Structure 1
């Protein structure tokens, strides 16, 4: 056993020396100094007996108090008041459940009737259960703050990456512009060359005709001169020359009289003027606010758009939808085997590509890349560059229905009893199908959404409602409500809420992201929704998009 004056940092004491603790020491206290207002180890007690200014200090132990302590030393607070720094926090106001120094109590709690001296009544005031509860709360709060800190670090990393991607997109756009300008330059030079060759050809043909006429006239003149002396031949030569002159005159009149051989290229000033009017290549969408929303959304306005395009052979059956980082809407048109791109501002289909199968769901995997799931156990990556185009396919060992991507992970439901977690190469990492008791977690799992913090996975189940699991597949909560029948699709608002559509109840409800609290109904049947298949939310414009079974009309609900 270590002696009382020895630094025994691996031992635990009820009372530690206050002075040594300030130097990160760990010594057992044997006395309490009234004037120093702190506990002293044997070495500090010895110091009190050496220095003249300390000799007069009152050192107390258990025997110095009339009350019966259960410990060797009096239990006295050592924390000093943050306002009156020379005072100890040795008073407790039971009326307000706060501690303070004598000055604080005198100034702020003079009318309070239940004021206690902590050291005198600690036996009545202290409860071990309070101590354990506070320690547990502190640990939980610390853990929660650390998670928030980690989330902010991840957000900062995401922000840095998005900035780099934004700068890259600007530079790439400039390169595209340069390519366009180069093409325009080559086309401009081409039409100049074509016009030059056309005019040059005309002038050369005229020169050839004129030179031919000059030769004929020179020959006729020679013939007339040579016939001198022979009147008969002279007469023939004159008549032949007169005919030639008449023909030359006629030919000369038919030749265009070119008074100027110069070409001018008229610059389209609108191109330059249009560029001058643009200060930037585009706009920066502000970072989406992560501040939680705790109130129900209401509909401010509703728009409708027909997404039918040429060569569509069936009515629209949009089973999946999502919003890209650029604010475009992707639609998985199942029956027409197409992925369509909608400009929400222009309310028009601006691009599309044909697919080899019937797409059930779509999600964004990267800033310029999407993933589509098919009913033939296949997923396919889609390039979102203009124009969009199919990329590589991956065959999986299970059915593919709902689809969601988060941080290099793909979450896929089989429209039955399992949720599969894959990496981006298609490697199966985990299968989630049982709850914590070993029972089936799903009955008919459908679409998927990830919480704003990335720690929860929400899966709609047409028979059970909304099932929430953590990233390890552990069951957290199952939401079920009689007002939501055949829960089919789910998405987040990026502010702590979920939207869940009931395919049979013809509505969209709002839940908190704890997965169990319903805030209310946002869209109902009277708003024109029937047999909804997918929902997505545009946080930039606060717009909820709803697609419907066998319907080319997509509904846009502007919320507030």
Structure 2
């Protein structure tokens, strides 16, 4: 008979695990069987069960399974650690936001205080001027009365002079009385007072916090965006001479969206909440693709000029610099302090910000052309992945050496027109002919269709997401509106 197991029971430490319940396929000590399996018919002493049955213990399969589970648990532990780090980072960011909001409140209160002081000073000045004017008129009347009285007192010889001075005195007295009757001068002015707007204090007292803290699910690059609803916003301005043709869009870290209006030759800045045009910048030609350089600067390609313009977003939008290329530049992306520019046909170039050409990607190792009609570009933050939306060849993903990692050219994506890399790392690609938006992983694997084709609407041109991954914005061909989706 096989030897009895020596493993002790977790619940009854003085007992060995030497019993097996075949009904539940579970092992335990004799006490466990007596308590938990007393109604089970098939309970056995393990050495006898092994001796009387052709049961083979295959530990290798169990070890493999345990290793897989251990790896899964380790991955989950790493995710928990990442979640904790992200949570602590978000706490620091939220605390900074609270302090920033508090400062905004302080600034607004300072403005209210200054306005109140200015109003009081203005009112006091007005009353002071009235009092000073009254004093001057009183002083003039007093001088006139005193002068007439002095002349009458000093004249006692000529009846004619007395007559004249009497009339002058009467006239001065009448003028003074008339002024006193009209002005109704009082010895004191009405008092002024300040009544605080207690509703401000009441509203503050009713607030428990400076805002609302809520939880939202974290979106990862492998999760298909779910559309919850959408709204339409008009982006046309008075100076536009044509219908808006938003050829590309990018989202800044603060939520501001920058649109490249092709036909109206403008870059337009949208408010991060109500999506109204708050500012725009006229360009010397029709813009193609815009991308973010940093928090206060974007760059945009102008194919007809063979130029890339750098636009400052501080205060009023304006061009601060430009670089020239020897080709009509279309697609544009920025990563790792370098620009990635396409010629619209068969090549992607890497440039420094100063305008020096570094590399060209146009052929694979076999000498075959990589592209045929490049519409837009996107590049990962570490510049290890280059995403190309090619109108005829679909989505093409390259490494930083120009080697093709993967490509997607399927009937689901017809006329690949625009690609956008989200903050979470997934890639959104719009199809001009398929009139939809697909979502891919950072490796170029299809996740699914985010926006389906709608035959009643114009073709989709550009797509972008805000940094918080809660909004997605698309533009359509020659449409004065943009659509903003909740995701």
Report the Cα offset of residue 517 of structure 1. Answer: 3.8
Report the Cα offset of residue 451 of structure 1. Answer: 5.1
2:178 aligned with 1:245:
no
* SS of equivalent to 2:288: strand
2:160 aligned with 1:218:
no
Counterpart-to-counterpart distance in 1, 2:367 and 2:331 = 23
* SS of equivalent to 2:375: strand
Q: Which residue of 2 aligns with 1:368?
A: 296
Report the Cα offset of residue 341 of structure 1. Answer: 2.2
CA root-mean-square deviation: 4.7
Deviations for 1:201-240, whole angstroms, at most 9, x for unmatched residues? 3322322221221122223223434455766665554444
Report the Cα offset of residue 444 of structure 1. Answer: 0.8
Deviations for 1:397-454, whole angstroms, at most 9, x for unmatched residues? 4432122223323222221111122334433332111113111101111212345886
Q: Which residue of 246, 249, 266 corresponds with 1:338?
A: 266
Q: Which residue of 403, 406, 420 corresponds with 2:335?
A: 406
Q: 1:262 to 1:116 in 2, by over 3 A?
A: closer
Q: Which residue of 2 aligns with 1:535?
A: 463
Q: Which residue of 1 aligns with 2:68?
A: none
Q: Which residue of 136, 146, 152 corresponds with 1:208?
A: 136
Contact 2:254/2:272 (CA < 8 Å) preserved in 1? no
Counterpart-to-counterpart distance in 2, 1:388 and 1:269 = 41
Q: Which residue of 1 aligns with 2:363?
A: 434
Q: 1:518 to 1:228 in 2, by over 3 A?
A: closer
* SS of equivalent to 1:360: coil
Contact 1:289/1:495 (CA < 8 Å) preserved in 2? no
Counterpart-to-counterpart distance in 1, 2:338 and 2:50 = 57
* SS of equivalent to 2:289: strand
Matches within 5 A, 1:75-94: none
Counterpart-to-counterpart distance in 1, 2:474 and 2:310 = 24
Counterpart-to-counterpart distance in 2, 1:307 and 1:536 = 16
Q: Which residue of 345, 357, 365 corresponds with 2:285?
A: 357
Q: 1:298 to 1:208 in 2, by over 3 A?
A: closer
Query: Structure 1, unaligned stretches of length 5 or more?
Result: 1-80, 84-103, 119-140
Q: 1:459 to 1:285 in 2, by over 3 A?
A: farther
Q: Which residue of 2 aligns with 1:55?
A: none
Q: 1:520 to 1:172 in 2, by over 3 A?
A: closer
Q: Which residue of 183, 194, 201 corresponds with 1:255?
A: 183
Structure exhibiting the larger radius of gyration computed from Cα positions: 1
Q: 1:197 to 1:411 in 2, by over 3 A?
A: same
Q: 1:193 to 1:543 in 2, by over 3 A?
A: closer
Q: 1:201 to 1:110 in 2, by over 3 A?
A: farther
Q: Which residue of 402, 408, 430 corresponds with 1:501?
A: 430
* SS of equivalent to 2:365: coil
Q: 1:553 to 1:257 in 2, by over 3 A?
A: same
2:218 aligned with 1:289:
yes
Counterpart-to-counterpart distance in 2, 1:112 and 1:365 = 71
TM-score normalised by length of structure 2: 0.71
Contact 2:252/2:466 (CA < 8 Å) preserved in 1? no
Q: 1:165 to 1:204 in 2, by over 3 A?
A: same
| Greater displacement, 218-227 / 205-214 | 218-227
Q: Which residue of 2 aligns with 1:489?
A: 418
- What is the aligned residue count? 437
Q: Which residue of 1 aligns with 2:448?
A: 519
Counterpart-to-counterpart distance in 1, 2:59 and 2:411 = 57
Q: 1:108 to 1:190 in 2, by over 3 A?
A: farther
2:313 aligned with 1:384:
yes
Deviations for 1:183-209, whole angstroms, at most 9, x for unmatched residues? 776666555555444433332232222
2:476 aligned with 1:548:
yes
Q: 1:456 to 1:235 in 2, by over 3 A?
A: closer
Contact 1:465/1:478 (CA < 8 Å) preserved in 2? yes
Counterpart-to-counterpart distance in 1, 2:446 and 2:125 = 78
Q: Which residue of 2 aligns with 1:456?
A: 385
Q: Which residue of 2 aligns with 1:302?
A: 230
Q: 1:242 to 1:332 in 2, by over 3 A?
A: same
Q: Which residue of 1 aligns with 2:407?
A: 478
Q: Which residue of 2 aligns with 1:133?
A: none
Counterpart-to-counterpart distance in 1, 2:112 and 2:370 = 60
Q: 1:548 to 1:329 in 2, by over 3 A?
A: same
Counterpart-to-counterpart distance in 1, 2:317 and 2:286 = 17
| Greater displacement, 264-273 / 249-258 | 264-273
Report the Cα offset of residue 337 of structure 1. Answer: 2.3
Q: Which has the higher contact order (CA 8 A, sep 6+)?
A: 2
Report the Cα offset of residue 177 of structure 1. Answer: 7.6
